[in-house]
Structure 1
Amino acid sequence: MKLAEIVPWGRSGEEYRRMFNLTDADLGKRILGVGDGPASFNAEQITAGGSVVSIDPIYAFSAQEIEKRVEATYYTVIENVQKEEAQYNWTIFQNTDELGKERMKAMNQFLTDYETGKQQGRYLAYALPNLPFPDQSFELALCSHLLFLYSDHLSEAFHQTAIQELMRVANEVRIFPLISLAGSPSPHLSPVLAACEANYIQAEIVNVPYHFQKGAYQMLQLSRTA
């Protein structure tokens, strides 16, 4: 992966709590964050005494390199959101200025924690669909803004393999959102649900208290039934 192809965009711990409908009990579990990028969830959880390992290819780069890339792409991201304002619900954030301020706050918190977290093994440059962890290494895996969202770029086969891998390394998996970048339902969701049933995976679509991108208010919650 080339850093010049990455657009870092980090979300806060509060956004994670709402996106994944996380309870205090959930936050006390051994958590795997998939595709976390420059989110502050890991840093916030560690400060609160939690246990989180985040994986993302961007972690192959240094804090300084990621920070420079954030600076290079930040205003382009904000401009794109401004052009597509009608695709978002402006209740969590009042406007693009507040959105940018909160996301930059989260990314700066990540950057402050990043190098220490790498040394502690909390930020690892791994990616789906193949993970190096032993079976059931985690109690909960959270996949944010990757599967289903990038349905035009990631095939159905990739989704199926990735979900099987997540279910191998974690007791429970939660995926958010379930729509594509265009805001339409992911074409991979129905075949994924069918495959889960065939593989004794309990799959439930759950409404969550987070609805920024219009149509993105549901997560997929997966657990083993046998």
Structure 2
Amino acid sequence: MDLANVVPWGRSFEEYQTMFELSDDDLNTRILGCGDGPASFNAEATERGYQIISCDPVYQFKAEEIRRRIDDVYPEIMTKMQQGAGDYIWHSLGGVEQLGEARMKAMSRFLSDFDAGCRQGRYVSASLPTLPFADSEFDLALCSHYLFLYSDHVDGAAHLASMRELCRVASEVRVFPVVSLDGKASKHLDSVMTTLSVDGIDVSLQPVSYRFQKGATEMLVAKSV
């Protein structure tokens, strides 16, 4: 991975709760956050006493390197968000500036926790479709804003292989969103769900309360039977 190609953008614990409809019971299980990047989910969850492991290829870099990359790309991301503001629902965040403040707060929280989290084994450098975890090591795996969102960049075979791998390491997998960047259902969604079902995995689309990207109102839930 070349850090120059990474666009860091971190979400908070509260956002994870609403993106994935996480109950107290859910949070009290063994959770894997896959592709968490600079989200503060792990840091905040750990502070609350939960057991979370996050994996992402960006974790191979040092905190200061990630911080510099965040500072480098932040103005560019904010410009794009201003230009595409009509593609989003702003009820909870208020506007682009407030969004930027929320993202920077989450990423700063992540950076302050990163070194300690690495030492404790909570941040693992890894990427789909091959994860360094044992079969059924986790009760729940969460994948935010990677699979399905980037359907034009990640092909169908990679989507299927990634979902199978997540189902291997966790009893239940939740993926949000299931729309691509244009706000329409991913072109890979139906085929992935059909194949997983043939594999004997229980798959369904379930509503979530999180609202930001227009069209993103559901998560994919896959449970090993």
Give a deviation string over 1:8-67, Cα, whole Å, max 9, x none.
000000000000000011111110001000000000010000011101110010000000
Corresponding residue of 1:94: 94
Corresponding residue of 2:174: 174
Corresponding residue of 1:223: 223
Runs of 4+ in 1 over 6 A off after TM superposition: none
Query: How far apart are 1:135 and its partner, in Å?
Result: 0.5
Corresponding residue of 1:34: 34
Q: CA–CA distance in 1 between the matches of 2:8 and 2:141? A: 21
Corresponding residue of 2:149: 149
Q: CA–CA distance in 2 between the matches of 1:189 and 1:151? A: 9
SS at match of 2:184: coil
Query: How far apart are 1:132 and its partner, in Å?
Result: 1.3
SS at match of 1:206: strand
Corresponding residue of 1:6: 6
1:161-200 equivalence runs, <5 A: 161-200=161-200
In the alignment, structure 1 residue 120 sits paired with structure 2 residue 123: no
Query: How far apart are 1:92 and its partner, in Å?
Result: 1.6
Query: How far apart are 1:211 and its partner, in Å?
Result: 1.3
What amino acid maps onto 1:7 in structure 2? V
Q: CA–CA distance in 2 between the matches of 1:132 and 1:124? A: 9
SS at match of 2:142: strand
Give a deviation string over 1:158-182, Cα, whole Å, max 9, x none.
1111111111100100000001112
Q: CA–CA distance in 2 between the matches of 1:151 and 1:160? A: 12
Corresponding residue of 2:25: 25
Q: CA–CA distance in 2 between the matches of 1:58 and 1:216? A: 25
What amino acid maps onto 1:10 in structure 2? G
In the alignment, structure 1 residue 61 sits paired with structure 2 residue 54: no
Report the number of matched residues: 225
Corresponding residue of 2:44: 44
1:97-112 equivalence runs, <5 A: 97-112=97-112
What percentage of aligned pairs have identical amino acids?
A: 49
Query: How far apart are 1:193 and its partner, in Å?
Result: 1.1
Q: CA–CA distance in 2 between the matches of 1:69 and 1:116? A: 20
Taking only aligned residues, the RMSD between alpha carbons, in angstroms, comes to 0.7
TM-score, normalised with respect to structure 1: 0.98
In the alignment, structure 1 residue 206 sits paired with structure 2 residue 201: no
SS at match of 1:143: strand
Give a deviation string over 1:196-219, Cα, whole Å, max 9, x none.
210111111011000100001110
What amino acid maps onto 1:5 in structure 2? N
Give a deviation string over 1:94-148, Cα, whole Å, max 9, x none.
0011101111100000000000001111111100001111100000000000100
What amino acid maps onto 2:15 in structure 1? E
Q: CA–CA distance in 1 between the matches of 2:18 and 2:5? A: 29
What amino acid maps onto 1:141 in structure 2? A
SS at match of 2:154: coil
